Amino acid sequence: MTSAGTGRGLDVFRQGDFPIYTLTFVRDLSPAELLTRMGVDPETLALRDAVDLEDDWGDDLFDDEEPVVTSGIDGSWTWAWEQGGMHGLDEGILSRVSAGTEAVVLHYNEKPMHWFKYAVDGGIIVDFHTLQAIEPAGQDPARLDDVMRPLGLVPGRAAPLHSVLALVENAFDIRLGRPGGVDDERWSGRLLPLPD
């Protein structure tokens, strides 16, 4: 568990200016396998540093139809970060990603809202968003109540600022480290468009 103080696992999203992002976290998968399960174009899957990402895609890094996704490992979780898309929220992708393991998806956009999904072995256990008063859904929507309630994430109420970030940190011990330097390489690629 993390405390309510600073230095927490997802502080980069409390402090940074990210108008839209989708983070997908999965236990015990390699970054390349996670991106493959998410539907990355195999011809674009490669290790890239920050300069390569900019050279290869430039403004397309933030494309919402075919977003560029980067991946890495922190602790026992492998993460995928879409800076412009929301493929991770797609039920088909989440089912594939969580097959044989568990996955957590966190989406944010400027409405402002967070959208949280927790899946185990292909099934969505808990699913809610903060655009209105939260109403958890899924196969077991009360599964995380013991962690959610102390954070103010109570059905029928508005979510407090950053409470969904705290849920991801506290319930799953998730963190995401930014690359330490320009030369740090991460697996990345372009996600294929979602089916209509």
pLDDT at 195: 83
Q: What's the pLDDT score for residue 182?
A: 57
Instruction: Give the pLDDT score at 18.
Output: 87
Say what the pLDDT of residue 86 is.
94
pLDDT at 189: 95
What is the SS3 assignment for the chain?
Answer: CCCCCCCCCCHHHHHCCCCEEEEEEEECCCHHHHHHHHCECHHHCEEECHHHHHHHHHHHHHCCCCCEEEEEEECCEEEEEECCCCHHHCHHHHHHHHCCCEEEEEEEECCCEEEEEEEECCEEEEEEECCCCCCCECCCCCCCHHHHHHHCCCCCCCCCCCHHHHHHHHHHCCCCCCCCCCCCCEEEEEECCCCC
Tokens of 162: 């950053």
Q: So what's the pLDDT on residue 64?
A: 80
pLDDT score for 46? 95
Query: What residues of the chain score a pLDDT lower than 50?
Result: 1-6
